[in-house]
Chains A and B, each alone.
Chain A
Amino acid sequence: KAGVTQTPRYLIKTRGQQVTLSCSPISGHRSVSWYQQTPGQGLQFLFEYFSETQRNKGNFPGRFSGRQFSNSRSEMNVSTLELGDSALYLCASSLDRVVNTEAFFGQGTRLTVV
Chain B
Amino acid sequence: SQQGEEDPQALSIQEGENATMNCSYKTSINNLQWYRQNSGRGLVHLILIRSNEREKHSGRLRVTLDTSKKSSSLLITASRAADTASYFCATDQENTPLVFGKGTRLSVIA
**Are chains A and B native binding partners rather than an unrelated pairing?**
yes
Residue count of chain A within 8 Å CB distance of chain B:
27
Render B38-57 as a binary contact track against A, CB cut-off 8 A, 1 for contact.
Answer: 00111111001010000000
Interface residues of A in 74-114 (CB under 8 A from B): 88, 90, 92, 97-98, 100-108, 110
Q: Judging by beta carbons under 8 Å apart, are B97 and A33 in contact?
A: yes
Q: Which of B16-24, B65-73, B76-84, B98-106 contacts A (4 or more CB under 8 A)?
A: B98-106
Residues of B within 8 A of A56 (CB): 95-97
B30 interface residue, CB < 8 Å from A?
Answer: yes
Q: Provided the pairs A48-B97, A102-B33 are in contact, do residues A43 and B88 lie with their beta carbons within 8 angstroms?
A: yes
| Minimum Cβ distance to chain B for residue A53 (Å) | 13
| Minimum Cβ distance to chain B for residue A110 (Å) | 7
**CA–CA, A98 and B99, complex, Å:** 15
Q: Judging by beta carbons under 8 Å apart, are B98 and A45 in contact?
A: yes
A42 interface residue, CB < 8 Å from B?
Answer: yes
Residues of B within 8 A of A35 (CB): 100
Interface residues of B in 1-31 (CB under 8 A from A): 1-2, 30-31
**CA–CA, A45 and B41, complex, Å:** 17
**CA–CA, A48 and B97, complex, Å:** 7
Q: Which single member of B30, B48, B100 contacts A42 (CB below 8 Å)?
A: B100
Residues of B within 8 A of A43 (CB): 88, 100, 102
In the assembled complex, 20 residue pairs joining A and B whose CB atoms fall closer than 8 Å, in A order, are: A33-B97, A35-B100, A42-B101, A42-B102, A48-B97, A56-B95, A56-B96, A88-B40, A92-B43, A92-B98, A97-B97, A100-B30, A100-B31, A100-B50, A103-B45, A105-B44, A106-B42, A107-B41, A108-B42, A110-B40
CB within 8 Å of B: which residues of A? 4, 33, 35, 41-43, 45, 48, 55-56, 58-59, 88, 90, 92, 97-98, 100-108, 110
